Structure 1
């Protein structure tokens, strides 16, 4: 790898798995076709003045266009602001102003809701298949597909100058007090975090085990740490990727069956809704983000859902994932409890419990402390 940066993953994937596919919005793109779209988009944006350090906000669900923006921004050295659509409207505006969005890409799903914001930001791109849809009345506005077609199929001149310590993206948390907090991710941070997370999952026999043979469908949105690394991992291993867009649980179930999805990530509430769908079984699931009730865990196990629980917060991709020790029988109540709460730090991650004075507490299964 020339540079440890996001777009190098796509270069590698096109060479090694050119005919592997990404499914999105009822369409299918091979990695080769996807790469062609990405470089055209990057070239077009370069012609319109986007350069290293330009901040680009994207407001979208998990679609191929949002994924294309990841790699186009990487090639240009632009900073991708993955806009958190779960923020309150005034907080979302705050995040866009605070991070200095110079371009805003918005899907037709969200465009009506953000119409009052059009005058606040100079450059808008509408992400839609419908090129007849009215564009924002701003200084500079484009339909995504028109913008893409203005580009040539060539790598941007500055792509080789993007470095691993450059900022790749910014994400604003919902937080619990005050205004949303912005977190900057370097290329290196995200790629190391993704490899740590999925290396950990590949090492252990039970739970949400991963391999290149899986068909992946992330329900965690791209705005949240790039769907917990799922914007990168399937590309990295050359696996099929299915993007659910706006699909509800019934629509997600239809995609699972049609595309033979075998690995997903989601919060426990989403898992509960899918467990209520007929036929949801024999799938590996990485879940987390909120408490995982024992009742849902039991229901998942009964359905043949192999789950692991992720813990970590937003400062890094993950800190720990639940693991069933080798000496524990897999189909037992003890194993189920290990999968629900038995956290093990990711490779090269150090975790300790500290008391109020910052002193490490004993590892005796009884002492309480804060996670450091």
Structure 2
């Protein structure tokens, strides 16, 4: 069976997710959840894992961890196996509890990336249609559409839901509960709290600001090709570690698909027969739109970063250009042929 490519190293930060087999529940009641929280405390002590954030949902969980030693796999295997044994015994459950192995995404520990990941983990309980953070809204945000500010009553409803949700580290971060010894809040508090301010108040303000205004370019989390959370240099550094002949690893090709924007520009220049400077400023030019379209898909950049590398374009301009090309590629045969040529050039690039 193909396995996810791992990047586990001493001092690494990771966003961990694990789902129930067939998306079935891994927590049937509060006693299951209480036991899992006990396991988290044991994992922190047994393996020296630093737990920065967590949330338990009915059929999956999210963790943000830091590993002073390169032992994330051992720690998470123990966690899932221990919960599986408990769950099977308590509920007379036959068959696997978890779907395959846990998913582990490296996170850039410096700057705002880890904070953004922690905030997104804490927001999971309100990512449902009722509070207005549904999947379609999130897809639109990731596609580059700037979110509208939600009504105040929606924000209040989301905050009330988060305040009352017991199975998350948010209550400890926001000051609604005392942090247990095995939960480390100080690091992320320090990322959002200016000197002299109350960290719990500032974290509440940070999360409330996110709920009110949605994703801000360059400030909150983006997941690059589902393999890393971080800035361009961090992602590129991890990409270079992928062996050229990584066998049996499901996301090795995804890592190799992360390309510098300059390579995409050169591929488009080759197909178009014109240098970038000759069409970079032409709004609606198919070459510019195609470069931005593939840049959005293949470079692992935010819209803001992509616009900067394209010569100083704004976020709305980049988003509209990429969307325009995606629409045209559905029906324009000539553009489809040009896009295929660009992709062939990109696929010949060495990792």
Q: Could you state the TM-score of these two structures normalised by the residue count of structure 2? A: 0.29
Which structure shows the bigger proportion of residues in strand conformation? 1
- Give 1 or 2 for the bigger CA radius of gyration: 2
Q: Could you state the TM-score of these two structures normalised by the residue count of structure 1? A: 0.28
Q: Which has the higher contact order (CA 8 A, sep 6+)?
A: 2
Which structure shows the bigger proportion of residues in helix conformation? 2
